[in-house]
Chain A
Amino acid sequence: MAEGSLIFISGGVRSGKSSFAEKVAADLAKQTGGNLHYIAAGKAYDSEMEARIQRHKEDRRKSGMSWITWEQPARLAELSEFFGENDIILFDCLTTLLNNELFLAEDLWRKQDFQEKVSSGILQAIAEIHQRCKAIIIVSNEVLNELIGGNKLVFTYGEMLGRLHQKIVEVANQAYLVEAGIPVQMKGEPA
């Protein structure tokens, strides 16, 4: 069975990474005729977040394509059975998922075996979805080019996120860094 493609897209806040990811997903769905799925890891816990989610929903509605939306703040693997082999999956975003998984329980994040369980769980979920569908597009954030300092929590989170990004980029068919709305292709053949 031909494996689908895995596309990694990262960028700063408001860099246009989500719009770019949506466009990539919609273009692929037009080619394959499969369903378009949107997996949101974000939970609306305040009005600002709610507005942000609404804006993203509105953008997707305007794209003229029909999206199937899933809200999955943790345990991504649970969704994999719902996807078909021609489907395109857009997952937004890894930073939020890692945050939700890692800080699920008070102090567990300090334990190395828990950290490893979280990381391998995320990678496995991505691999499972990747195997089942035509394409999975993973959106994440650029947060590692600043002072991390002495805060253990921030350090642990940064280390885990960086390692996850490295592992995902390693298996990705394409990887993009979005700067000011411009996707810079870092890996793969130009689409």
Chain B
Amino acid sequence: MHFVTGGAFNGKSRWVRNFYQLENVPCQWVSAYKGETVTGFHKNGLVVMEGIEVWIRDWLKESGDNEVRTRWQNHLRDWLDWEKEDIHREIILIGTDITKGIVPMEAEDRKWRDITGWAYQDTAVLSDRVDLIWYGISRKIK
């Protein structure tokens, strides 16, 4: 599992496309920004999921903080299990960093920001590789 993070509009998706040469390599791209959710994976190969923070926000509308975090952790475990079944499988998770601003006025936004930060920590722990993208430049931090 490969986690890619960085600020908004920093070129994270473009970096992933280049890094994995997705012009030539088939991949399943699931975008939370387009309202997509993960329902199941294709047989083998690369799966890119972008917009983790959006899923977290949506889940928080239906359940509490702890449930959401547990739900994310369970997903991560399931995905890792799936990945391990075949050497050609790889999961790439892209999440926008929303955690460095001034404390938001709205309690909902504070909660969203907190859970997203924790979800990213959980993701980083379980990933073999983590890259931070800064305006198209990557820095491997794990």
Partners in one complex: yes
Q: Is A163 an interface residue (CB 8 A)?
A: yes
Q: Is the CB of A145 within 8 A of B137?
A: no
- Bound-complex Cα distance A135 to B7 (A): 28
- Distance (Å) between the CB of B60 and the closest chain A CB? 13
Among candidates A145, A161, A165, A175, residue contacting B98 with C-beta atoms closer than 8 Å: A145
Q: Is B69 an interface residue (CB 8 A)?
A: no
**Residues on the A chain within 8 Å of B101, using CB:** 145-147
Q: Is the CB of B7 within 8 A of A142?
A: yes
Q: Which residues of A contact B (CB under 8 A)?
A: 142, 144-149, 158-159, 161-163, 165-166, 168-170, 175, 177, 186-187
Among candidates B99, B100, B113, B135, residue contacting A165 with C-beta atoms closer than 8 Å: B135
Q: Is the CB of B7 within 8 A of A149?
A: no
- Distance (Å) between the CB of B19 and the closest chain A CB? 15
Q: Is the CB of B134 within 8 A of A146?
A: no
- Distance (Å) between the CB of A24 and the closest chain B CB? 18
Q: Is the CB of B137 within 8 A of A147?
A: no
Q: Is the CB of B7 within 8 A of A162?
A: yes
Q: Is the CB of A177 within 8 A of B134?
A: yes
**Contact A162:B9 (CB < 8 A) given known A145-B99, A147-B113:** yes
**Residues on the B chain within 8 Å of A187, using CB:** 137
Which of A161, A162, A177 has the most chain B CB atoms closer than 10 A to its own CB?
Answer: A162
Q: Is B11 an interface residue (CB 8 A)?
A: yes
Chain A, Cβ-Cβ closest to B7:
A144
**Residues on the A chain within 8 Å of B102, using CB:** 146
Query: What are 15 pairs between A and B in contact, CB < 8 Å?
Result: A142-B100, A144-B7, A145-B7, A145-B100, A145-B101, A146-B98, A148-B8, A159-B8, A159-B9, A162-B7, A162-B11, A163-B9, A166-B9, A169-B134, A187-B137
Q: Is the CB of B9 within 8 A of A145?
A: no
Q: Is B83 an interface residue (CB 8 A)?
A: no
- Distance (Å) between the CB of A34 and the closest chain B CB? 28
Chain B, Cβ-Cβ closest to A147:
B98
Q: Is B55 an interface residue (CB 8 A)?
A: no
Q: Is the CB of A186 within 8 A of B10?
A: no
**Residues on the B chain within 8 Å of A142, using CB:** 7, 100
- Bound-complex Cα distance A168 to B136 (A): 10
- Chain B residues 83-117 with CB under 8 Å of chain A are 97-102, 104, 109, 112-113
